[in-house]
């Protein structure tokens, strides 16, 4: 089975990216571009990779 290639995306150089942890019954890790509406993603904090794991 072959995978389909993914087209490269254009990234804005003027975005302002922030990360946060929202505490609750399930702590959520949130990454957002605060310069755009609805430009965010969330994942349970337990599933988020640590910074050393990203390197």
Q: In this structure, what DSSP letter does residue 51 have?
A: H
SS3 46: helix
- From the CA atom positions of the chain, what is the Rg in Å? 15
Closest CA to 15 of 45, 35, 30, 42: 35
Give residue limits of the domains in the chain: 17-54
Tell me the pTM: 0.63
Q: What is the pLDDT confidence band of residue 49, given thresholds at 50, 70 and 90? A: confident
Of residues 28, 3, 32, 1, the one with CA closest to residue 15? 32
The total number of residues shown for the chain amounts to: 55
**What pLDDT digit, counting tens, does each position of 1-26 carry?**
567 776 766 766 777 889 999 999 99
Distance CA 46, CA 55 (A): 18
């Amino acid at each position: 089975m072959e995978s389909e290639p993914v087209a490269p995306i254009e990234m804005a150089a003027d975005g302002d990216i922030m990360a946060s942890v929202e505490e609750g019954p399930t702590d959520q890790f949130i990454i957002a571009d605060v310069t755009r509406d609805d430009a965010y993603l969330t994942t349970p904090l337990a599933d988020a990779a640590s910074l050393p794991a990203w390197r």
